[in-house]
Amino acid sequence: MESPFLMIILVNLGLFAMIFGIVYLNKREKMAMIERGMDPRSYKPQSAPYQNLKWGLLLIGAGLGLFLASVLDRTVFAETSRHNEAIYFSLIAIFGGLGLFVSYLIEKKEVLDKNVTVYKEEKDLV
């Protein structure tokens, strides 16, 4: 049987390696920015404006898939004595994917509408 002493050593080494890697990569990124003439203090990461929409639609789709799988399992497949686990996983994946696809369509529509508005404003200025 493995000793808990070995486990403690491995967990501490893994934690140290993770922290060291994060700090090392952060310093390396800042050095690369300095080499390119950028100011690392003024760097702000890009925000994802539709991230909440994406997660919301994904979770709504997964919830609908789980609900539909439960309803189908209790009504359509009620004559079988065992539960159909495959239907749960497949419908969660299908409806979650549909949620992500709807999110993509909404983002695409918003970006296209924004680009058309900017183009019209530029055209009016000329």
| Global confidence as pTM | 0.57
DSSP 75-122: HTTTTSSS--HHHHHHHHHHHHHHHHHHHHHHHHHHHHHHHHHHHHHH
Half-sphere exposure of 43 (CA within 13 A, CB side): 14
Angle at 39 between CA 35 and CA 44, to 5 degrees: 120
Greater confidence, 61 or 121?
Answer: 61
**Who wins on pLDDT, 78 or 52?**
52
Using the Cα atoms of residue 72, residue 76, residue 82 and residue 84 in order, give the sign of their dihedral: negative
The residue to which tokens 């090392």 are assigned: 24
Residue tagged 């140290």 (tokens): 16
Range picked from 12-16, 40-44, 71-75, 78-82 for highest mean pLDDT: 12-16
Report in angstroms the alpha-carbon separations of 62 from 86, 90, 117.
14, 10, 35
pLDDT digits (tens, 9 = 90+) for 34-49: 999 988 888 777 777 8
